[in-house]
Chain A
Amino acid sequence: MTPPHVTVVGAGPAGLAAAETALTAGAEVTLIDSAEQPGGQYHRMLPDAYAAVRPERLQHGWRAFDRRRRRVLAHPRCTWWPDTTVWALERLAPHEPGPPRVHVLCGPADGADRRRLRLDPDALVLAVGAHDRMLPFPGWELPGVFTAGAAQALAKGERVVVGDRVVVAGTGPFLLPVAASLLEAGSRVSAVLEANVTATVARGWSQRPWELAAQAGKAGELAEYTAALIRHRVPCRTGRAVIEARGDGRVEEVVTARLRGDWSVVPGSERTIAVDAVCVTHGFSPQLELPVAAGCALRGSSAGEFVDVDDDQRTSCPGVYASGEITGIAGAPAARAEGALAGWVAGGGDPAAPALRHLRRSRDQGRAFAERLVRAHPIGAAWHGWLRPETVVCRCEETDYASICRAVTNVASAAARVAKLETRAGLGPCQARMCGPTVAELSARLRGEPLGRPVEGLPAAVPHHRPIAQPIRLGELAGGPDHIPNDTA
């Protein structure tokens, strides 16, 4: 009997764990990642060309990751495709069993001569991760305003610091590692600002404290970052946010202000800090275009939409499994547990195997952690109080807040499709990855109902629906796939 072929998309903590257990279960594995190296954002590695002698200095849990990475990539049944982008998932006809066909491009990012290939796996594990969510504020489009993830990726991945006087702001525990890696790389962190007030953070984290014992590893990691901040005497404040960035062609200063529990600005509490960079995060958005393209059902939660999975990480789509941040923002340990479960079951392993018990427990603890995270670091309902009519909301098309307000409160244009065409918000190169959740939320708030009303004759607009998941050049599209590795293997 030929072993099943499992394609794993994403080689971060979840994807790498999935590849490992699918191999253990006996499957042939193709592991795909858009980066040159495995690790994802959490274990972002230095380029080989840096010839780093002590890469572990920048990584938590490096030894375990390094062992797993080597084991997986060297495995005779594993094919590793770095620099590879999934640009489309093609759903098969209803009578054809199995997951969608996977269309990929291999080669330098956005290059013109990438190889176009096609895979027809028996099972597909999606582990594509998340990116920073950032709420708009006046001046956030200025160069020098970065997502916290950008600062982290540049410091960890190529030893570039985004500035010398940096403010790190937003909400969530991710503020801490970002500040710590800037300090490690020699920047001065002027302040770390958590927008939620102490009461919100404390209430979120202190409920049922015994559950947290299971996350001791995570807690230890956060304690280390906190120690670094104390050592460098970085002022850390809760209930304070960056509400404006100012500068001539680049950020030169930020305005911070005290926030109430609902994130409304306390008048008169504004302060100005001179900076050459500001790093902001308001949580994470799961990258849902591939799960949506595969046809996976989503589940709504107070933190947004995620892929719905069962106890074995199966999605609603036969043969498609999901793991990691696309099922909920729960951190690397939970992602690893989910990935390991998904890979094992996808690879034909017995879902009732006793060894899975501790994985499920670890996954469930991670989910409890995720819920706690949402309670402790929510986005306050009154955040839009810091927007001005001229504040850019869609960075690509430079649609301002006033235009969004006009379009969504006007009855004729209130359907999502019409509002989008009228304001152009979400039509730019990023395809609403950045502004989508914000526009949806503002619309719902301004109209008192979600912006989902369909236009007559057209299906309802679905966010995250991007049939071309990643840019492909017309030449590449016209060239057609050049071979199917499955058939030649």
Chain B
Amino acid sequence: MSPRRVSAQADAVGRRDRPLLITVDGEAVEGIDGQSIAGVMLAAGRLGWCRGVSGAARGVFCGIGVCFNCLVTVGAERDVRACRRRARDGDVVTLQSRKPSTPGTVQESGTEDG
């Protein structure tokens, strides 16, 4: 089982969902207007989307912009905290890795080419 969004019908707060669509590494992911990029990805069942220095998966940890574990590229902007950035319809999200591309270098292996 995975993280999910409370369904609008069952939600005690009585909300109205306006769907939006972002792409994550080219794959379409559906969310609702008002969500953070992290929330959209979590609710779509994605849990770990960044790669740490060893290549291990990382995702949301602190949820409030302090731990910097959930960094993604949004459009041309690298290192965006997914938990703090509102998703906009049509956002093109690219996943990042901090694993060095060649052994011995400390340069970040980026996904700048998207």
Q: Could you tell me if A131 and B66 are in contact, using CB atoms closer than 8 angstroms? A: yes
- B100 located at the interface, meaning its Cβ lies under 8 Å from any Cβ of chain A in the complex: no
- Are A398 and B57 neighbours in the complex by a CB distance under 8 Å? no
A160 touches B86 (CB 8 A): no
B35 contacts across to A, CB distance below 8 A: 47, 158, 160
Task: Indicate if the CB atoms of A161 and B81 lie closer than 8 Å.
Answer: no
Assess the A154–B39 pair: CB atoms within 8 A.
yes
Q: Is the CB of B15 within 8 A of A52?
A: yes
B53 sits at the interface (CB 8 A): yes
Q: Cβ of B57 and Cβ of A143 under 8 Å apart?
A: yes
CB pair B48 A143 closer than 8 Å: yes
Q: Tell whether, in the assembled complex, residue B48 and residue A164 are in contact, meaning their CB atoms are under 8 Å apart.
A: no
Docked CA distance A144–B46 (Å): 10
Contacts of A186 in B (CB 8 A): 6, 10
B92 smallest CB distance to A (angstroms): 14
Q: A409-437 interface mask toward B, CB cutoff 8 Å, 1 = contact, 0 = none?
A: 00000000000000000001110011000
Interface check B110, CB cutoff 8 A? no
Check B3 against A160 for contact (C-beta < 8 Å): yes
In the complex, A227 has a CB within 8 A of chain B: no
Interface hits, A73-118 → B, CB 8 Å: 108-112
- Bound form: Cα–Cα A401–B2 in Å: 30
Cα distance A143–B45 when bound, in Å? 12
Q: Is the interface of A mostly helix, strand, loop or mixed?
A: loop
- Please pick, from A34, A49, A249, the residue contacting B18 in the complex, using a CB distance under 8 A: A49
* Interface pair A143/B15, CB less than 8 Å apart: no
Q: Chain B nearest CB: distance from A137 CB in Å?
A: 13
Q: Does B54 contact A (CB under 8 A)?
A: yes
Q: Is the CB of A160 within 8 A of B53?
A: no
Determine the chain B residues whose CB is within 8 A of the CB of A131 once the complex forms. 62, 64, 66
A50/B13 in contact, CB under 8 A: yes
Partner pick for B81 among A110, A162, A433, CB 8 A cutoff: A110
Q: Are A49 and B34 in contact (CB under 8 A)?
A: yes
A397: chain B residues within 8 A (beta carbon): 53
Whether the Cβ atoms of A54 and B14 lie closer than 8 Å is yes
Contact between A250 and B6, CB atoms less than 8 A apart: no
- Which A residues are CB-close (under 8 A) to B4? 160-161, 164
Least Cβ–Cβ distance between B55 and chain A, in angstroms: 10
B113 at interface by CB-CB < 8 Å: no
Interface residue A48 (Cβ < 8 Å from any Cβ of B): yes
CB of A184 closer than 8 Å to a CB of B: yes
B-side interface size class: 35 or more
Q: A390-415: which have CB < 8 Å to B? A: 395-398
Residues in A with CB closer than 8 Å to B77 are 110-112
How does the 8 Å CB contact mask read for B14-35 relative to A, with 1 for contact and 0 for none?
A: 1111100000000000001111
Among residues of A, the one whose C-beta sits closest to the C-beta of B53 is A398
Q: Assess the A398–B54 pair: CB atoms within 8 A.
A: yes
- Chain B residues contacting A396 (CB-CB under 8 Å) are 52-53, 68-69
Are A433's CB and B42's CB within 8 A? no
* Assembly CA distance A474 to B56 (angstroms): 29
Report the minimal beta-carbon distance from B37 to chain A, rounded to whole angstroms: 10
Indicate which residue in A46, A144, A149 contacts B62 across the interface (CB closer than 8 Å).
Answer: A149
Q: Which residue of B lies closest to A399 (CB)?
A: B53
Find chain A residues with CB under 8 A from B53 CB: 396-398
Besides A55-B13, A110-B80, A154-B63, 16 new A-B residue pairs in contact (Cβ under 8 A), listed by A number: A49-B32, A49-B33, A50-B34, A58-B12, A108-B86, A141-B56, A143-B47, A149-B64, A154-B42, A154-B60, A158-B34, A164-B1, A396-B52, A396-B69, A398-B52, A430-B69
Would you give 16 A-B contacts (Cβ < 8 Å), ordered by A? A50-B32, A52-B14, A53-B14, A55-B13, A110-B79, A131-B66, A143-B47, A146-B60, A158-B39, A159-B15, A161-B6, A184-B12, A396-B52, A396-B69, A428-B68, A471-B79
Q: B residues engaging A (CB < 8 A)?
A: 1-6, 10-18, 32-36, 38-39, 42-43, 47-48, 52-54, 56-69, 71, 76-77, 79-81, 83-86
* A residues apposed to B, CB below 8 Å: 34, 36, 41, 46-55, 57-58, 108-112, 131-132, 141-147, 149-154, 158-165, 184-186, 249-250, 276-277, 287, 395-398, 428-430, 433-434, 471
